[in-house]
């Protein structure tokens, strides 16, 4: 009997930089990280243009890797209202794009992601990075922490998939 492989798209929404990661999981094995990186718009890019860059780049990732599921980090309120507004708008574009592509969306909170990766809901970025390297047997995770957060979101996203879909 051939085991089913599930492909997950992890996303860490950001105002100018969004982390993305593709993970595959077969059966009860640990997920494999297939791709990770960031989608960026240059500083001072007008919001409509930045959102268009985000959407087009996200569509490129979706078209190349064809994920079935996605795990998009839920946003916590930021003290900087201008930044928070941009992140909320980016997240809206992400959710709409995923829905249009018929990709199932899970929305774990930051605390759920931290706890799912490190067993502590109060873990910092370095602890998440270290845990991901150990759990997923990664040599190194280069790039911005947004991409690490996307890997973490994808990793935790597998726990949201109902058993009948695995």
* 76 token code pair: 């916590």
Q: Confirm if 159 and 16 have CB atoms less than 8 A apart.
A: no
Q: Is pLDDT at 159 greater than 70 in this prediction?
A: yes
Q: Is 73 among the residues known to form the active site?
A: yes
As to burial, measured by CB atoms within 10 angstroms (0-12 exposed, 13-18 middle, 19+ buried), residue 49 is exposed
Catalytic position from the list 12, 24, 64, 74: 12
Q: What is the CATH number of the domain that holds 81?
A: 3.30.420.10
Q: Taking the CB of residue 129, how many other CB atoms lie within 10 A of it?
A: 21
Catalytic position from the list 73, 107, 124, 149: 73
Catalytic position from the list 24, 60, 146, 149: 146
Q: Is 24 among the residues known to form the active site?
A: no
Confidence grade of residue 78 (pLDDT, cut at 50, 70, 90): low
Q: Is 146 among the residues known to form the active site?
A: yes
Confidence grade of residue 58 (pLDDT, cut at 50, 70, 90): very high
Q: How many domains does the chain have?
A: 1
Confidence grade of residue 143 (pLDDT, cut at 50, 70, 90): confident
44 dihedral zone (left: phi>0; alpha: psi -120 to 50; beta)? left
Confidence grade of residue 122 (pLDDT, cut at 50, 70, 90): very high
What is the domain extent for residue 151? Answer: 5-165
């Amino acid at each position: 009997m051939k085991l089913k492989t599930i492909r997950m798209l992890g996303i860490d929404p950001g105002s100018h930089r969004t982390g993305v990661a593709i993970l595959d999981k077969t059966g009860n094995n640990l997920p494999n990280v297939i791709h990770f990186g960031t989608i960026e718009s240059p500083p001072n890019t007008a919001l409509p243009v930045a959102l268009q860059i985000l959407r087009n780049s996200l569509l490129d990732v979706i078209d190349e890797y064809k994920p079935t599921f996605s795990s998009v980090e839920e946003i916590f309120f930021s003290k900087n209202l201008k930044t928070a507004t941009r992140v909320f708008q980016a997240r809206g574009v992400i959710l709409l794009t995923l829905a249009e592509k018929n990709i199932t969306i899970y929305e774990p909170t930051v605390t759920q992601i931290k706890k799912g990766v490190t067993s502590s809901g109060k873990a910092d970025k370095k602890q998440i990075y270290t845990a991901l390297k150990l759990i997923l047997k990664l040599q190194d995770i280069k790039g911005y922490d947004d991409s690490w957060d996307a890997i973490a979101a994808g990793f935790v996203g597998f726990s949201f998939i109902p058993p009948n879909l695995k």
